[in-house]
A and B are shown apart, each in its own frame.
Chain A
Protein backbone atom coordinates (compact mmCIF):
# COMPACT_ATOMS: atom_id res chain seq x y z
CA UNK A 1 0.00 0.00 0.00
CA UNK A 2 1.34 3.42 -0.89
CA UNK A 3 1.83 5.84 2.03
CA UNK A 4 -0.75 8.20 0.58
CA UNK A 5 -3.37 5.47 0.50
CA UNK A 6 -2.46 4.46 4.03
CA UNK A 7 -2.97 8.01 5.29
CA UNK A 8 -6.28 8.19 3.45
CA UNK A 9 -7.45 4.99 5.15
CA UNK A 10 -6.21 6.25 8.52
CA UNK A 11 -8.00 9.62 8.53
CA UNK A 12 -10.85 8.86 6.10
CA UNK A 13 -13.53 7.69 8.51
CA UNK A 14 -12.62 10.06 11.38
CA UNK A 15 -12.80 13.03 9.00
CA UNK A 16 -16.14 11.78 7.67
CA UNK A 17 -17.55 11.41 11.18
CA UNK A 18 -16.39 14.87 12.26
CA UNK A 19 -17.87 16.36 9.09
CA UNK A 20 -21.15 14.61 9.87
CA UNK A 21 -21.08 15.93 13.44
CA UNK A 22 -20.37 19.43 12.15
CA UNK A 23 -23.17 19.25 9.57
CA UNK A 24 -25.73 17.95 12.06
CA UNK A 25 -24.98 20.69 14.57
CA UNK A 26 -25.00 23.48 11.99
CA UNK A 27 -28.62 24.26 12.69
CA UNK A 28 -30.08 25.52 15.99
CA UNK A 29 -27.92 24.76 19.01
CA UNK A 30 -28.58 21.37 20.53
CA UNK A 31 -28.39 21.44 24.32
CA UNK A 32 -26.69 18.05 24.65
CA UNK A 33 -24.29 18.14 21.73
CA UNK A 34 -21.90 21.07 21.40
CA UNK A 35 -20.56 22.17 18.02
CA UNK A 36 -17.10 20.81 17.16
CA UNK A 37 -15.39 24.22 17.21
CA UNK A 38 -17.03 25.18 20.48
CA UNK A 39 -15.81 21.92 22.03
CA UNK A 40 -12.21 22.51 20.93
CA UNK A 41 -12.38 26.02 22.31
CA UNK A 42 -13.82 24.85 25.63
CA UNK A 43 -11.31 22.06 25.82
CA UNK A 44 -8.51 24.57 25.58
CA UNK A 45 -9.88 27.10 28.09
CA UNK A 46 -10.91 24.44 30.63
CA UNK A 47 -7.88 22.19 30.62
CA UNK A 48 -4.99 24.51 29.73
CA UNK A 49 -5.42 26.35 33.02
CA UNK A 50 -4.91 25.74 36.75
CA UNK A 51 -6.97 22.58 36.35
CA UNK A 52 -3.99 20.98 34.71
CA UNK A 53 -2.08 21.16 38.01
CA UNK A 54 -4.91 20.82 40.53
CA UNK A 55 -7.05 18.11 38.91
CA UNK A 56 -5.35 16.49 35.97
CA UNK A 57 -1.83 15.92 37.30
CA UNK A 58 -2.73 14.50 40.76
CA UNK A 59 -5.13 12.05 39.08
CA UNK A 60 -2.46 10.94 36.64
CA UNK A 61 0.15 10.55 39.40
CA UNK A 62 -2.25 8.43 41.47
CA UNK A 63 -3.05 6.36 38.40
CA UNK A 64 0.62 5.67 37.71
CA UNK A 65 1.46 4.81 41.33
CA UNK A 66 -1.54 2.48 41.44
CA UNK A 67 -0.68 0.82 38.15
CA UNK A 68 3.00 0.41 39.00
CA UNK A 69 2.13 -1.10 42.39
CA UNK A 70 -0.41 -3.50 40.85
CA UNK A 71 2.03 -4.66 38.19
CA UNK A 72 4.91 -5.20 40.64
CA UNK A 73 2.73 -6.86 43.29
CA UNK A 74 0.88 -8.89 40.68
CA UNK A 75 4.06 -10.24 39.11
CA UNK A 76 5.76 -11.01 42.45
CA UNK A 77 2.72 -12.79 43.91
CA UNK A 78 1.97 -14.43 40.58
CA UNK A 79 5.48 -15.91 40.30
CA UNK A 80 5.23 -17.20 43.88
CA UNK A 81 1.79 -18.74 43.41
CA UNK A 82 2.63 -20.09 39.98
CA UNK A 83 5.84 -21.76 41.19
CA UNK A 84 4.48 -23.66 44.18
CA UNK A 85 1.77 -26.10 43.38
CA UNK A 86 0.40 -26.37 46.92
CA UNK A 87 0.22 -22.59 47.22
CA UNK A 88 -1.78 -22.46 44.01
CA UNK A 89 -4.34 -25.00 45.16
CA UNK A 90 -4.45 -23.25 48.52
CA UNK A 91 -5.20 -19.78 47.17
CA UNK A 92 -7.15 -20.59 44.01
CA UNK A 93 -10.76 -20.47 45.29
CA UNK A 94 -10.16 -17.33 47.36
CA UNK A 95 -8.51 -15.59 44.41
CA UNK A 96 -11.37 -16.64 42.13
CA UNK A 97 -13.75 -14.97 44.54
CA UNK A 98 -11.82 -11.74 44.89
CA UNK A 99 -11.37 -11.47 41.17
CA UNK A 100 -15.12 -11.83 40.71
CA UNK A 101 -15.99 -9.00 43.11
CA UNK A 102 -16.62 -5.94 40.93
CA UNK A 103 -13.86 -3.57 42.12
CA UNK A 104 -16.03 -0.42 42.34
CA UNK A 105 -18.04 -1.90 45.22
CA UNK A 106 -14.83 -1.84 47.24
CA UNK A 107 -14.79 1.96 47.08
CA UNK A 108 -17.35 2.41 49.90
CA UNK A 109 -15.57 -0.30 51.90
CA UNK A 110 -12.14 1.28 51.54
CA UNK A 111 -13.57 4.72 52.30
CA UNK A 112 -14.66 3.26 55.61
CA UNK A 113 -11.37 1.51 56.36
CA UNK A 114 -8.88 4.09 55.12
CA UNK A 115 -10.83 7.31 54.87
CA UNK A 116 -11.08 9.63 51.88
CA UNK A 117 -7.54 10.45 50.87
CA UNK A 118 -4.90 9.71 48.29
CA UNK A 119 -4.00 6.35 49.81
CA UNK A 120 -7.62 5.20 49.49
CA UNK A 121 -7.72 6.16 45.82
CA UNK A 122 -4.47 4.36 45.11
CA UNK A 123 -5.59 1.26 47.02
CA UNK A 124 -8.84 1.25 45.01
CA UNK A 125 -6.82 1.21 41.79
CA UNK A 126 -4.61 -1.61 43.10
CA UNK A 127 -7.50 -3.77 44.33
CA UNK A 128 -9.01 -3.75 40.86
CA UNK A 129 -6.01 -3.66 38.56
CA UNK A 130 -3.91 -6.34 40.25
CA UNK A 131 -6.09 -9.32 39.24
CA UNK A 132 -5.42 -9.50 35.50
CA UNK A 133 -1.66 -9.22 36.14
CA UNK A 134 -1.67 -11.71 39.00
CA UNK A 135 -3.78 -14.37 37.32
CA UNK A 136 -2.02 -14.06 33.97
CA UNK A 137 1.38 -14.31 35.67
CA UNK A 138 0.27 -17.48 37.46
CA UNK A 139 -0.87 -18.98 34.14
CA UNK A 140 2.29 -17.82 32.38
CA UNK A 141 4.60 -19.30 35.02
CA UNK A 142 2.70 -22.58 34.91
CA UNK A 143 2.96 -22.74 31.13
CA UNK A 144 6.75 -22.30 30.94
CA UNK A 145 8.15 -24.72 28.37
CA UNK A 146 8.95 -27.95 30.28
CA UNK A 147 11.92 -28.76 28.03
CA UNK A 148 13.54 -25.41 28.80
CA UNK A 149 12.70 -25.87 32.45
CA UNK A 150 14.40 -29.29 32.53
CA UNK A 151 17.38 -27.89 30.63
CA UNK A 152 17.95 -25.14 33.17
CA UNK A 153 17.72 -27.72 35.95
CA UNK A 154 20.28 -29.92 34.20
CA UNK A 155 22.64 -26.99 33.95
CA UNK A 156 21.96 -26.23 37.61
CA UNK A 157 20.56 -22.82 36.84
CA UNK A 158 18.47 -22.13 39.91
CA UNK A 159 17.22 -19.33 42.08
CA UNK A 160 17.43 -15.80 40.75
CA UNK A 161 19.18 -16.74 37.51
CA UNK A 162 16.40 -19.20 36.70
CA UNK A 163 13.84 -16.50 37.44
CA UNK A 164 15.67 -13.92 35.35
CA UNK A 165 16.45 -16.06 32.32
CA UNK A 166 13.69 -18.65 32.24
CA UNK A 167 10.56 -17.89 34.25
CA UNK A 168 10.08 -14.17 33.61
CA UNK A 169 10.86 -14.21 29.88
CA UNK A 170 8.78 -17.38 29.44
CA UNK A 171 5.80 -15.84 31.19
CA UNK A 172 6.21 -12.36 29.69
CA UNK A 173 3.69 -12.73 26.81
CA UNK A 174 1.01 -13.69 29.33
CA UNK A 175 2.12 -11.01 31.79
CA UNK A 176 1.89 -8.33 29.11
CA UNK A 177 -1.61 -9.49 28.19
CA UNK A 178 -2.53 -9.01 31.84
CA UNK A 179 -0.89 -5.58 31.97
CA UNK A 180 -2.95 -4.51 28.99
CA UNK A 181 -6.20 -5.33 30.78
CA UNK A 182 -4.96 -3.78 34.00
CA UNK A 183 -4.38 -0.40 32.32
CA UNK A 184 -7.99 0.04 31.29
CA UNK A 185 -9.35 -1.20 34.64
CA UNK A 186 -6.96 1.14 36.48
CA UNK A 187 -8.21 4.12 34.49
CA UNK A 188 -11.84 3.22 35.23
CA UNK A 189 -11.10 2.94 38.93
CA UNK A 190 -9.17 6.19 39.00
CA UNK A 191 -12.29 7.97 37.76
CA UNK A 192 -14.66 6.13 40.11
CA UNK A 193 -12.49 6.66 43.19
CA UNK A 194 -12.76 10.40 42.56
CA UNK A 195 -16.51 10.41 42.12
CA UNK A 196 -17.08 9.68 45.83
CA UNK A 197 -16.71 12.41 48.41
CA UNK A 198 -13.69 13.82 46.68
CA UNK A 199 -12.99 17.49 46.04
CA UNK A 200 -10.44 17.30 43.24
CA UNK A 201 -9.40 15.08 40.37
CA UNK A 202 -10.72 14.32 36.92
CA UNK A 203 -13.69 12.20 38.00
CA UNK A 204 -14.84 14.86 40.45
CA UNK A 205 -14.47 17.67 37.91
CA UNK A 206 -16.48 15.88 35.24
CA UNK A 207 -19.33 15.10 37.62
CA UNK A 208 -19.24 18.71 38.81
CA UNK A 209 -19.64 19.96 35.24
CA UNK A 210 -22.51 17.57 34.62
CA UNK A 211 -24.32 18.62 37.80
CA UNK A 212 -23.92 22.26 36.81
CA UNK A 213 -25.21 21.46 33.30
CA UNK A 214 -21.94 22.81 31.84
CA UNK A 215 -22.35 20.56 28.82
CA UNK A 216 -19.41 21.58 26.58
CA UNK A 217 -17.13 21.45 29.65
CA UNK A 218 -18.45 18.00 30.51
CA UNK A 219 -17.76 16.77 26.97
CA UNK A 220 -14.26 18.21 27.17
CA UNK A 221 -13.71 16.15 30.35
CA UNK A 222 -14.93 13.02 28.59
CA UNK A 223 -12.48 13.84 25.81
CA UNK A 224 -9.63 14.15 28.33
CA UNK A 225 -10.43 10.69 29.71
CA UNK A 226 -10.53 9.32 26.19
CA UNK A 227 -7.17 10.88 25.39
CA UNK A 228 -5.63 9.39 28.55
CA UNK A 229 -6.95 5.97 27.54
CA UNK A 230 -5.51 6.36 24.06
CA UNK A 231 -2.21 7.65 25.46
CA UNK A 232 -1.95 4.66 27.79
CA UNK A 233 -2.58 2.15 25.02
CA UNK A 234 -0.01 3.97 22.87
CA UNK A 235 2.65 3.80 25.62
CA UNK A 236 1.74 0.19 26.24
CA UNK A 237 2.20 -0.73 22.61
CA UNK A 238 5.66 0.88 22.60
CA UNK A 239 6.70 -1.02 25.73
CA UNK A 240 5.19 -4.26 24.46
CA UNK A 241 7.09 -3.91 21.18
CA UNK A 242 10.35 -3.71 23.12
CA UNK A 243 9.65 -6.38 25.72
CA UNK A 244 7.98 -8.87 23.41
CA UNK A 245 9.82 -8.10 20.17
CA UNK A 246 11.51 -11.51 20.32
CA UNK A 247 8.18 -13.24 20.89
CA UNK A 248 6.35 -11.64 17.95
CA UNK A 249 9.36 -12.41 15.72
CA UNK A 250 9.27 -16.04 16.84
CA UNK A 251 5.53 -16.32 16.16
CA UNK A 252 5.95 -14.85 12.69
CA UNK A 253 8.70 -17.33 11.86
CA UNK A 254 6.58 -20.23 13.08
CA UNK A 255 3.68 -19.02 10.98
CA UNK A 256 5.82 -18.78 7.87
CA UNK A 257 7.12 -22.32 8.10
Chain B
Protein backbone atom coordinates (compact mmCIF):
# COMPACT_ATOMS: atom_id res chain seq x y z
CA UNK B 1 0.00 0.00 0.00
CA UNK B 2 1.50 3.37 -0.94
CA UNK B 3 1.45 6.38 1.31
CA UNK B 4 -1.52 8.07 -0.37
CA UNK B 5 -3.76 5.05 -0.16
CA UNK B 6 -2.92 4.55 3.50
CA UNK B 7 -3.69 8.19 4.18
CA UNK B 8 -7.12 7.93 2.55
CA UNK B 9 -7.88 4.75 4.42
CA UNK B 10 -7.09 6.40 7.77
CA UNK B 11 -9.21 9.43 6.81
CA UNK B 12 -12.06 7.11 5.93
CA UNK B 13 -11.81 5.27 9.24
CA UNK B 14 -11.70 8.51 11.24
CA UNK B 15 -14.67 9.91 9.31
CA UNK B 16 -16.58 6.69 9.90
CA UNK B 17 -15.84 6.71 13.64
CA UNK B 18 -16.87 10.37 13.91
CA UNK B 19 -20.11 9.66 12.05
CA UNK B 20 -20.84 6.61 14.20
CA UNK B 21 -20.26 8.60 17.40
CA UNK B 22 -22.44 11.46 16.16
CA UNK B 23 -25.26 9.16 15.06
CA UNK B 24 -25.10 7.35 18.35
CA UNK B 25 -25.25 10.34 20.73
CA UNK B 26 -28.94 10.99 20.08
CA UNK B 27 -29.98 7.62 21.38
CA UNK B 28 -27.57 7.39 24.26
CA UNK B 29 -29.57 9.14 26.97
CA UNK B 30 -33.15 8.45 27.98
CA UNK B 31 -33.32 11.40 30.41
CA UNK B 32 -35.05 14.72 29.72
CA UNK B 33 -35.44 17.99 31.61
CA UNK B 34 -38.65 19.31 33.14
CA UNK B 35 -39.56 21.55 30.19
CA UNK B 36 -39.44 18.58 27.80
CA UNK B 37 -41.34 16.40 30.28
CA UNK B 38 -44.26 18.85 30.40
CA UNK B 39 -44.84 18.75 26.65
CA UNK B 40 -43.98 15.09 25.97
CA UNK B 41 -46.77 12.97 24.48
CA UNK B 42 -45.53 9.60 25.67
CA UNK B 43 -43.87 8.33 28.83
CA UNK B 44 -40.54 10.02 29.58
CA UNK B 45 -37.77 9.77 32.14
CA UNK B 46 -37.32 13.13 33.78
CA UNK B 47 -34.27 13.85 35.87
CA UNK B 48 -33.97 16.39 38.65
CA UNK B 49 -33.22 17.21 42.25
CA UNK B 50 -35.58 17.33 45.19
CA UNK B 51 -36.99 20.85 45.22
CA UNK B 52 -36.00 22.28 48.61
CA UNK B 53 -38.53 25.11 48.33
CA UNK B 54 -41.54 22.82 47.82
CA UNK B 55 -43.59 21.02 50.44
CA UNK B 56 -41.46 18.19 51.90
CA UNK B 57 -42.11 14.69 50.42
CA UNK B 58 -45.32 13.22 51.84
CA UNK B 59 -48.10 10.68 51.24
CA UNK B 60 -51.30 12.12 49.83
CA UNK B 61 -54.31 9.97 48.95
CA UNK B 62 -52.26 6.88 48.18
CA UNK B 63 -49.65 8.86 46.24
CA UNK B 64 -46.17 9.81 47.26
CA UNK B 65 -45.83 13.50 46.43
CA UNK B 66 -42.74 15.69 46.19
CA UNK B 67 -41.35 18.65 44.29
CA UNK B 68 -38.77 18.12 41.56
CA UNK B 69 -36.34 20.80 40.43
CA UNK B 70 -34.48 20.90 37.12
CA UNK B 71 -30.79 21.14 37.87
CA UNK B 72 -30.02 23.17 34.75
CA UNK B 73 -32.98 25.52 34.39
CA UNK B 74 -34.20 25.74 37.99
CA UNK B 75 -37.73 24.94 36.76
CA UNK B 76 -39.90 23.00 39.20
CA UNK B 77 -42.89 20.66 39.11
CA UNK B 78 -44.84 18.41 41.43
CA UNK B 79 -44.39 14.66 41.07
CA UNK B 80 -47.08 12.18 42.13
CA UNK B 81 -45.88 8.60 42.42
CA UNK B 82 -48.58 5.90 42.64
CA UNK B 83 -47.02 4.15 45.57
CA UNK B 84 -45.19 4.50 48.84
CA UNK B 85 -41.90 6.29 49.35
CA UNK B 86 -39.12 4.23 47.69
CA UNK B 87 -36.53 2.65 49.99
CA UNK B 88 -33.54 4.81 49.30
CA UNK B 89 -35.39 8.04 48.63
CA UNK B 90 -33.97 9.83 51.68
CA UNK B 91 -30.41 9.34 50.46
CA UNK B 92 -31.25 10.45 46.95
CA UNK B 93 -28.98 12.91 45.25
CA UNK B 94 -30.72 12.89 41.90
CA UNK B 95 -34.17 11.53 41.17
CA UNK B 96 -35.43 10.12 37.90
CA UNK B 97 -39.21 9.96 37.57
CA UNK B 98 -40.69 7.81 34.78
CA UNK B 99 -44.19 8.69 33.60
CA UNK B 100 -46.20 11.45 31.93
CA UNK B 101 -47.23 14.97 32.78
CA UNK B 102 -50.94 15.26 33.63
CA UNK B 103 -52.25 18.76 32.90
CA UNK B 104 -55.51 18.12 34.80
CA UNK B 105 -53.61 17.30 38.00
CA UNK B 106 -50.94 19.93 37.36
CA UNK B 107 -48.38 17.27 38.24
CA UNK B 108 -46.10 14.68 36.74
CA UNK B 109 -47.61 11.24 37.31
CA UNK B 110 -44.80 8.74 37.85
CA UNK B 111 -45.08 4.96 37.48
CA UNK B 112 -41.55 4.48 38.70
CA UNK B 113 -38.88 6.42 40.56
CA UNK B 114 -35.17 5.78 40.20
CA UNK B 115 -32.69 7.06 42.72
CA UNK B 116 -29.13 8.20 42.27
CA UNK B 117 -27.21 8.03 45.51
CA UNK B 118 -24.13 10.15 46.11
CA UNK B 119 -21.01 8.29 45.05
CA UNK B 120 -19.21 8.60 48.32
CA UNK B 121 -17.69 5.52 49.74
CA UNK B 122 -17.23 6.47 53.34
CA UNK B 123 -17.42 4.33 56.42
CA UNK B 124 -20.87 4.13 57.98
CA UNK B 125 -21.11 6.18 61.13
Real complex partners, A and B? no
> Which residues of B are at the interface with A, using a C-beta cutoff of 8 A?
none
> Which residues of A are at the interface with B, using a C-beta cutoff of 8 A?
none
